[in-house]
Homo-oligomer: A and B are copies of this chain.
Amino acid sequence: MTNPIVDPVLARIDADMDGAVDRLLDLLRIPSISTDPAYKAECDRAADWLVSDLQSLGFEASKRATPGHPMVVGHMDGDGPHVLFYGHYDVQPVDPLGLWDRDPFDPALEDTANGRVIRGRGSSDDKGQLMTFVEACRAWKAVHGALPCRITIFFEGEEESGSPSLVPFMQDNAKELTADIALICDTGLFGDKTPTIITQLRGLLGEELTIKGPSKDLHSGMYGGAAMNPIRVLSRVLASLHDHTGRITIPGFYDGVPELPGQVKGQWDALGFDAANFLGEVGLSEPAGEQDRTALEMIWSRPTCEINGIWGGYTGDGFKTVLPAEAHAKISFRLVGDQDPDAIRANFRKMVEDMLPPDCEASWEGHGNSAASQMSIDHPAFEAARAALSQEWPQPAAYVGCGGSIPIAGHFREVLGMDAMLIGFGKDDDQIHSPNEKYDLSSFHKGTRSWARVLAEVSQL
């Protein structure tokens, strides 16, 4: 079925792929790690790069200061509805660096058994994804001299570090940022062939716990046995967070956790999720969560408690018989339904503090909190996008859940009263947050084409 409006845009995208890849590689070379203060200037540089690129294709774009890393905002007028597009230019840290096969910030195209990939930190999460939209706009502009919708671009640089500046910035710039619908590109396909629109997202609560015991590091020969060891206390605390059935033991933790509606469960069952394969690809064979739940529920609709990091005492080569003064852990919770992050934080802290033996004390650093999001799919853009995506991909588009936490969707609703559609082209094996992150060239290419089609459909609303 030919379409005289979108077909030449798709052709232009196909013809310009080499240029699009070169631009993405340029952006990937900037090590914009937002969580590590050492990379502050690099985050700034990535924002500058994006402002310049948006300006080059006709956006009125600027870098906007925040107390943290800057936002990038761009506007271009158009005839259709007003669409806001969101992505993030910051990336995850790269350790353990020794497990990368190449410098994470020296990206390159690589041929693999599964096709060509763009290898490098941020290629999938989220620089490659946000550039699919930019490249779709570039092609529209080149072919038609204008965009099919009025478009606002909104990029942040703190997504991987809890987005501390996001809500204040949205509040301060509410008028400028409010559109008819928000488009968010920070998610994946279901399998390799099924484009998806996320309709529920888990929330995230992060806590850093330090347990202090003796006033200084001690010699375990002199004090061992008589002095409380904070690593032992920390282990006991962490071991108590799950019971033997995999349930989380924090009082009130399951308040607000809904059962999956039968209709949604039916849709999910129809996806034919292959849990054995999903786990098998990362060397696992058994779902490790609550014993009475399916693996898909565990990752999409059930809350979790994970230990993301732990350290204390001597961790170098060889052995040191030290009895350390402190032990530390980074712990996070994925939240669902109406779970209240503040209440869970308070209950967690109280539970830990109640467990501490004499001579130990806990100190805390909170690392952001966001409740889960549930999309409303009443907005006609959802069905328009579903139709557009179904034209591009081998399988029709599906509404699915997502285990990750993309609080931006909730913020668009709560702060700006705007619905959001999460559409992305990542794959399960992209190794985001891990060494050797990649983005399939086909994700980048078909993702760009997908946005051209979505814009075409949405422009008709």
* Chain-B contact segment, one of A76-84, A143-151, A216-224: A216-224
Q: Mark A409-441, 1 if CB is under 8 A from B, else 0.
A: 000000000000000000010011111000000
Task: Tell me, yes or no, whether A204 is within 8 Å of chain B by CB.
Answer: yes
Determine the chain B residues whose CB is within 8 A of the CB of A208 once the complex forms.
319
- A314 at the binding interface (Cβ < 8 Å): yes
Q: Is the CB of A37 closer than 8 A to any CB of chain B?
A: yes
Query: What separation, in Å, do the CA atoms of A208 and B285 have in the docked complex?
Result: 26
Question: What separation, in Å, do the CA atoms of A314 and B160 have in the docked complex?
Answer: 13
Nearest CB on B from A216, distance (A):
6
The CB with the most chain B CB atoms within 10 A, among A323, A329, A433, is that of A433
- The answer, yes or no, to whether A298 is at the interface (CB within 8 Å) is yes
Instruction: Output the nearest chain B residue to A319 by Cβ-Cβ distance.
Output: B367
In the complex, the answer to whether A308 meets B317 with C-beta atoms within 8 Å is no
Task: Answer whether residue A380 sits at the interface, using C-beta atoms and an 8 A cutoff.
Answer: no
Within 8 A of B (CB), among A137-166: 160-162
Q: Provided the pairs A221-B403, A403-B225 are in contact, do residues A318 and B35 lie with their beta carbons within 8 angstroms?
A: yes
Q: Is A330 interfacial (CB 8 A cutoff)?
A: yes
Pick the interface stretch among A41-49, A127-135, A174-182, A232-240: A232-240
Query: What residues on B are CB-neighbors of A304 within 8 Å?
Result: 220, 224-225
Residue A357 lies at the interface, judged by CB distance under 8 Å to chain B: yes
Residues of B within 8 A of A221 (CB): 202, 204, 334, 402-405
Shortest CB distance A74–B (Å): 28
Q: Which of A270-310 contact B (CB under 8 A)?
A: 275, 278-279, 282-289, 295, 298-299, 302-304, 306-310
Distance between A286 CB and nearest chain B CB, rounded to angstroms: 4
Contact residues of A between 306 and 349, Cβ < 8 Å to B: 306-324, 327-330, 332, 334
CA distance A287 to B432 in the complex (A): 46
Q: How far is the CA of A322 from the CA of B359 in the complex (A)?
A: 31
A15 at the interface (CB under 8 A from B): no
- Residues in B with CB closer than 8 Å to A92 are 320
Q: Which of B218, B275, B309, B368 contacts A314 (CB under 8 A)?
A: B309
**A8 contacts the other chain (CB 8 A):** no
User: Residues of A within 8 Å of B, CB-based: how many?
Assistant: 100
Residues of B within 8 A of A191 (CB): none
Q: Mark A233-256, 1 if CB is under 8 A from B, else 0.
A: 011101111100000000000000
Chain B residues, CB < 8 A from A93: 314, 316, 318, 320
With A224-B299, A283-B215, A307-B231 in contact, do A367 and B318 touch (Cβ < 8 Å)? yes
Q: List the B side residues contacting A434 at CB < 8 Å.
A: 216-219, 322
Smallest CB–CB gap between A279 and chain B, Å? 7
Contact mask A355-380 → B, CB, 8 Å, 1/0? 00111000000011000000000000
A219-B433, A316-B95 are contacts. A228–B308 as well, Cβ < 8 Å?
A: no
Tell me whether B278 and A226 are in contact (CB under 8 A): yes
Query: Judging by beta carbons under 8 Å apart, are A359 and B229 in contact?
Result: no
Q: Are A229 and B279 in contact (CB under 8 A)?
A: no
Q: Is A214 an interface residue (CB 8 A)?
A: yes
Q: How far is the CB of A114 from chain B (nearest CB, A)?
A: 16
Is A313 a contact partner of B307 (Cβ separation < 8 A)?
yes
**Would B306 and A323 count as touching, CB distance under 8 A?**
yes
Q: A213 in the interface, Cβ–Cβ < 8 Å?
A: yes
| 16 interchain pairs, CB-CB under 8 A | A92-B320, A93-B318, A160-B320, A215-B284, A217-B433, A222-B404, A224-B334, A225-B288, A225-B289, A226-B289, A227-B288, A231-B329, A307-B313, A309-B314, A319-B330, A321-B405
